[in-house]
Amino acid sequence: MDNRNSSFEDLVMWQKMHNIVLDIYKITKSFPKEEIFGVTNQIRRASVSVAANIVEGYGKKSKADKLRFFNISQGSLEETKYFLRLAKDLGYYNTDDLRIGLDEVGKMLKGYVRAISGSDN
């Protein structure tokens, strides 16, 4: 499956997620200082986990290993969506655009998992 991409950096879903992570780091700089160990840390950690587990899954050889890391990525993506919702509800930032971006990444990730699940490797 990975023959078309020579590096994880060629994966569109990783590229989109990486850009979302960068955006999250930028917007969380404006969050209240008392949130540095709360929402700020949690949303950064969860979003980085999405991208990092895409990378780790990409690098695995077995289908089971790939699927395990992509599944972890999917869970972290849902966690990131929650923290973006929380940040919006707390009045820290309008996160609607970021949440739309996460939905796009989620669809791509789901398609990638479906393709791997159907492959023989």
| Residue 120, pLDDT above cutoff 70 | no
Structurally, how many domains does the chain consist of? 1
Q: What is the pLDDT of residue 21?
A: 98
**pLDDT bracket for residue 118 (50, 70, 90):** confident
Give 55-67 pLDDT, tens digit per residue: 999 999 999 999 9
- 2 in a domain, yes or no? no
Q: Which two tokens mark 15?
A: 């590229």
* CATH code of the domain covering residue 108: 1.20.1440.60
Residue with tokens 């669809």: 107
Residue with tokens 């990378």: 55
Give 94-106 pLDDT, tens digit per residue: 999 999 999 999 9
Cβ atoms of 102 and 110 closer than 8 Å: no
Q: What is the pLDDT of residue 119?
A: 65
- 27 in a domain, yes or no? yes
What angle do the packed helices 63-89 and 39-59 form, to 10 degrees? 160
The pLDDT of 49-60, averaged and rounded, is 96
- 54 in a domain, yes or no? yes
Cβ atoms of 92 and 32 closer than 8 Å: yes
Give 4-33 pLDDT, tens digit per residue: 668 999 999 999 999 999 999 999 999 999
Neighbours of 61 (CB within 10 A): 9
Domain region containing 41: 7-118
Q: What is the pLDDT of residue 4?
A: 60
Residue 68: partners with Cβ closer than 8 Å, 6 or more residues away:
57, 60
- 1 in a domain, yes or no? no
Cβ atoms of 74 and 114 closer than 8 Å: no
Taking the C-alpha atoms of residue 105 and residue 121, their distance in angstroms, rounded to an integer, is 24
pTM of the model: 0.91
Q: Which two tokens mark 25?
A: 């780091």
